[in-house]
Amino acid sequence: MDKPLSQYLDLDNPQNLDAYKTTGGYQGFETALNMQPQEVQKQVSDSQLKGRGGAGFMTGIKWSFVPMGKDAPKNKYLVCNADEMEPGTFKDRWLMEGAPHLLIEGMMIAAYAIGADVAYIFLRGEYRLCATRLQQAIDEAEAAGLLGNNINGTQYSLKLHLHTSAGRYICGEETALINALEGKRANPRAKPPFPQVVGLFGRPTIVNNCETLCNLPGILKNGSQWYAELSGGPDAGTKIYGISGRVKNAGLWELPMGTTARHILELSGSMQDNLTLRGWLPGGASTDFLLPEHLDTRMEYDAISKVGSRMGTGVMIVLDDKHCPVGMILNLLKFFAQESCGWCTPCRDGLPWAVEILSRIEDGQGTQDDLDALQQLCGFMWIGKTFCALAPGAVEPLRSGMKYFADDFQQHIDHKGCPHGH
C-alpha cells in the first residue's frame, strides 16, 4: 500500500531538505505552482480529502468559501491547527517530529490554493521538539527560496511563521485559535461570519489540521484519483490511526481509511495479559464509548456515526475490565472542566457540577438523585445549547458511559463505593 505520510517519517533523524527532495518532496508544490489556484482547489476536492482534525468536513469545499479573483481581499491567511490537546491523541506530534518538511510543503500548497501570502503553524506549547524541528525546516525552505518572495521565479510569495501556543484545549476550536493568534483571550467567536470570509485580523482565513495538510503533497504529485483509491471505501485516502490504554503496544499506524477497529487493536498486540476489553473511545476523549461488539465497524465517519459515536481523531482509547468506567469518565470530565474557557454558562458551570457529582459517586457518597442529575446535565450541555462544541464533546463519554456501564454506576450507589476497589 502507498503510504503518502509515513513514507517520509523518521522520528530519530527526520529528513532535512535535501533528503526530503530526493524522496519526491516539494514535487507536489512545484506541480501546484504550474496550476491556477482554483485548479488546485478542484484537485483537492476531487480527491475527496476530509479534514483529519475530527469534524471530517470536505477540505476542498471548505477552501471554496474563500473569496477568490481580482476583487478578493489582498490579505488572506492559512493557519495550521497543531494545538493537539485532545486527551489520547498524539498523531500530529508524530508527523511534525518525524516529517516536518511534509507539513511545510502541505501548507505551501494550501496557501497557494486560497491565495494566502502569510501562514501560521499554531503549535501546542508543550511540543518543544516539534517546534525545534519545524523551525529548522522553515529555515531550510527559506534559504532554498521555497519560502519568501517570488518563489521559484513566480509572482507568488509566502511567509510562514511558527507560533507556539500558551495552551488551553479550547484553542482547538478554530475561532478561539484565531482569537489567541491575535493576542486575545481564546474564546470562540459567533458564526457567521465564518473564518473563510472574516477570520484572522478580519481577513479570509483557512484553518486546517496538521494531518489534513500533510496529505496535500501526495495528492498534487500523484493525482486525485490515486488518493481516492487508496482506501477502497467511501472515505478517501489513508489515516493515521492509533490506540492507547492497556494494550500490549500502544502506537500509531498509517492505514487505509475504513480499516476496522478490530484490526487496529490487533496491530497493538491486543489487550495486555489477563485483561479483557470492556469499551473503547474511537477518536480521543470527546467521543462516545463503543463496546467490543462494535470492533468490526469500519473506522470511517459515517460508519462510526451509525453505531452511535464519532470517529474524531481516529486514535482509540481502550477501557479494560479491571478499571472503573466511572473513574475513567471522572478523569476525562476533570480535564474538560479545567479547559473550559468559561464563555457560556452550560459549559462553565455544568462541567464542574458534573465533576462534583461524579466525585461523590466514585467516593461512595452518591445517591440515586445524582444519577438523575447527571442525565439532566448531559441534556443541558448537548449540541445546540452551548456556544461551541467543547461541552457536547465533553459529555459524550459521560452520556454513553451511563448507557453502557449503567450497572457500574448503580453499584457505586447501592454499595457505597467503587466495585473495582478504586
Domains delineated in the chain: 6-228 (3.40.50.11540), 238-320 (3.10.20.600), 325-414 (1.20.1440.230)
For residue 1, what pLDDT is reported? 56
Give the model confidence (pLDDT) of 123-137 as tens digits: 999 999 999 999 999
For residue 3, what pLDDT is reported? 87
Do residues 94 and 64 lie in contact, with contact meaning Cβ atoms separated by under 8 Å? no
For residue 410, what pLDDT is reported? 95
Q: How far is it, in rounded angstroms, from Cα 328 to Cα 77?
A: 40
| 234 pLDDT tier (thresholds 50, 70, 90) | confident
Percent of the chain with pLDDT over 70: 99
| 421 pLDDT tier (thresholds 50, 70, 90) | low
For residue 206, what pLDDT is reported? 97
Q: Which residues of 187-206 are buried (b: 16+ CB within 10 A; e: fewer)?
A: bbbeeeebbbebbbeebbbb
For residue 320, what pLDDT is reported? 97
For residue 422, what pLDDT is reported? 58
Q: Which residues of 60-77 are buried (b: 16+ CB within 10 A; e: fewer)?
A: bebbbebebeeeeeeebb
The answer to whether residue 220 scores a pLDDT higher than 60 is yes
For residue 232, what pLDDT is reported? 73
Mean pLDDT of the chain: 94
For residue 111, give Cα distances in angstroms to 6, 76, 153, 157, 409. Answer: 23, 9, 17, 10, 50
Cα Rg of the chain, angstroms: 22
Of the candidates 130, 361, 204, 365, the one whose C-alpha atom is nearest the C-alpha of residue 377 is 361
Give the model confidence (pLDDT) of 343-390 as tens digits: 899 999 999 999 999 999 999 999 999 999 999 999 999 998 899 989
The answer to whether residue 286 scores a pLDDT higher than 80 is yes
For residue 166, what pLDDT is reported? 84
| 71 pLDDT tier (thresholds 50, 70, 90) | confident
CB under 8 A, 24+ apart: contacts of 37-42: 37/68, 37/112, 37/113, 37/114, 37/115, 38/68, 40/109, 40/112, 40/113, 40/220, 41/113, 41/114
Q: Is the dihedral of CA 50, 51, 56, 62 positive or negative?
A: negative
Mean pLDDT of 260-282: 97
pTM listed for this prediction = 0.94
For residue 159, what pLDDT is reported? 97
